[in-house]
Structure formats: C-alpha cells, structure tokens
C-alpha cells in the first residue's frame, strides 16, 4: 500500500473525564458514534458558522481524543480550545509529536485490512472522508514511498478538500467543503458553536458553493485560479494534479453553464466539473439567481 508522511500535520491531545462532553459541545462532528478504529473530519466554527479550524478527530485511549490538525495553526487551535474549556476537567496539550501520514490501497474496497501498521509500531485508522476506498491515517513509524502528488491525486479523485490547499479558514461554511456529506457535521447532536447557521443551511437546502472535481482539456493552472463562464467567476481551483483539480464552485451557476453549453475556463484552459463520487447532493434543477 502506498504510504506518505505528512510533516505539515500536528497532533493536539484532549483528555480527561470531560473530554468527550467538552468537544461535543463545541465542534461539528458527532463524537458519540465515532468508531475506535477511525478518524472523522471535524471543524470548530465561528459563531457565524464559518470554519475557523478543520481537523481529523479520533479516539485515543478510554477518555482521550487525538486532533490531527495543520501544524502551522496547531498552537492557535490549542489556544482557542483553552478559551472554551472553562471548568471542564480536560487537559489540552501537544504531546511528543508522532509522525502523521496516510496509507491507501488504490484498488480496494473500504473493508480491506492491512497489518503493516502494527509491524511498524504505528496506529492505523480508517479515514472516513474516503467512504468508497481503503484509506488510512497513520500515527507513528511508517515507510514513505509515495509522492505528495500521489496524495493530491487521491484527494482530488474523492473530492476531499483541506484548508490551506483548497480554501481559506474563515471563508467557508461546512457545506462548502462537504462536511455535511462525509459525517463531519452531526445534525442530530445538540448545540455547538455556529450550529444555528449550519442547521439553517441544511434544512433550507441553501448550500450553493460545493467542492467539485475539475477535469481540464490540458494541464490546469495553479491553485487559486478563478473558474469563469461567460467572463463571470463561478468558482476557484484548489489542489491541482496535472489536468485534474479540486474546485469550490457555485453549483447553480455550473449547472446553468452546462445547460447552455457555455464553456467553463480556468486560466484559459477549458474544463468540466463533476460531483465527487460519494457525495449525495445534486446540481440544482432551478435556474440560478442573479446575486453573487
């Protein structure tokens, strides 16, 4: 199985008798149904419902959680968690940092297992952002026989967006980056920071910006390049791997361009946009509104 070390990731540990209750009250994912052998996408939001920090959460022992976050924002993330701690009996720390990585089987189903992690004295957990593939998060010793471009291509193929590479923190709602599709938001749990806005978007069906998979007629330009139709911006490219890329785009405007046969371009390169394979949303049937 290809394996890649991800040195741009860090681990924040939350432990103690109140750890689950503390996190459950502030983050988007429902931790009550978090499997012990998996990592789940999650976010801490602003009160206005936008993503302040994105991370992967997994169980760590009987009363602890492992928060896998971008290394460059880990200290800010810890400080924000401390602000919410109040009198909760939790410890928030950055332990001796394990190596964080990913391992996957290119041609397998999610139930396939692999024993190589135990041989390397590592923790291997299913990555639930990839429901239709065997992709694992690794914490600890590992080989490093894959290229960053391989990992990018895998994320693109499955529509898995990450902050920094694909969107800016403070600029996206959970629906924009498919947290509502990959169990990154618990709609049956109680309140959490930003919950009212997220629930309203869900119940009203007002999410219009979505992660899509771009396929170019040739090599696509750099991340951050606008996608246009009729000279108007309808989205922006994220992670790029050759002629494939992630994009966050207005699905109503994409549908209008497809219906009218209007070319969609990124830096002069023609492209098509498709819904990720495991996503449950569809392109809207109604015409787009004229607002931005």
pTM: predicted TM-score of the whole model, two decimal places: 0.93
Other beta carbons within 10 Å of 176:
22
Q: In this structure, is residue 280 part of a structural domain?
A: no
**Is residue 186 a part of any domain in this protein?**
yes
State which residues form the domain around 80: 3-199
Residue 110 has pLDDT above 90, yes or no: no
Q: Are residues 58 and 190 in the same domain?
A: yes
Q: What's the pLDDT band for 244 if we cut at 50, 70, 90?
A: very high
Q: What is the pLDDT of residues 156-181, one digit of tens each?
A: 999 999 999 999 999 999 999 999 99
Q: Is residue 138 part of a domain?
A: yes
- Summary mean pLDDT of the chain: 93
Query: Which of 199, 228, 247 corresponds to the end of one domain?
Result: 199
Q: Determine how β-strand 91-93 pairs with β-strand 3-5.
A: unpaired
Calpha distance 69→163 (Å, rounded): 10
Whether 12 is covered by a domain: the verdict is: yes
Is residue 282 in a domain?
no
**Predicted confidence (pLDDT) per residue in 202-226, tens digit:** 999 999 999 999 999 999 999 999 9
Judge if 107 and 163 occupy the same domain.
yes
Last residue of a domain, one of 176, 199, 222: 199
User: Are residue 265 and residue 237 in the same domain, yes or no?
Assistant: yes
Residue 108 has pLDDT above 70, yes or no: no
**Residue 101 maps to a domain:** yes
Please check whether residue 94 lies inside any domain of the structure. Answer: yes
Same domain assignment for residues 44 and 176: yes
User: 114: domain CATH number?
Assistant: 3.30.1360.120
Do residues 180 and 143 share a domain? yes
Strand order in the sheet with 64-70: 3-5, 100-105, 134-140, 122-127, 38-45, 51-59, 64-70, 9-15, 91-93
């Amino acid at each position: 199985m290809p394996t890649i070390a991800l040195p741009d990731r860090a681990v924040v540990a939350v432990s103690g008798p109140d750890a689950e209750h503390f996190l459950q009250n502030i983050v988007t994912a429902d931790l009550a149904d978090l499997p012990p052998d998996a990592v789940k996408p999650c976010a801490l939001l602003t009160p206005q419902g936008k993503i302040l920090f994105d991370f992967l959460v997994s169980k760590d022992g009987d009363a602890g959680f492992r928060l896998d976050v971008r290394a460059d924002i880990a200290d800010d993330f810890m400080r924000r968690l401390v602000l919410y701690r109040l009198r909760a009996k939790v410890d928030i720390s950055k332990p001796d940092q394990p190596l964080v990585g990913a391992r996957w089987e290119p041609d397998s189903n999610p139930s396939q297992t692999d024993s190589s992690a135990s041989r390397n004295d590592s923790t291997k957990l299913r990555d639930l952002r990839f429901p239709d593939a065997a992709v694992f998060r690794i914490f600890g010793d590992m080989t490093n026989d894959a290229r960053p471009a391989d990992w990018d291509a895998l994320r693109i193929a499955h529509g898995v967006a990450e902050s920094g590479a694909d969107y800016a923190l403070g600029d996206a709602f959970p629906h924009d980056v498919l947290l509502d599709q990959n169990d990154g938001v618990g709609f049956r749990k109680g309140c959490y920071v930003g919950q009212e806005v997220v629930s309203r978007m869900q119940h009203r069906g007002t999410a219009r910006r979505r992660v899509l998979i771009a396929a170019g007629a040739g090599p696509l330009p750099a991340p951050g390049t606008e996608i246009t139709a009729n000279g108007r911006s309808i989205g922006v490219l994220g992670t790029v791997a050759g002629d494939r890329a992630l994009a966050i785009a207005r699905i109503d405007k994409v549908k209008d361009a497809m219906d009218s046969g209007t070319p969609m371009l990124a830096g002069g390169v023609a492209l098509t946009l498709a819904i990720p394979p495991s996503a449950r949303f569809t392109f809207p049937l109604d015409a787009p509104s004229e607002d931005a």
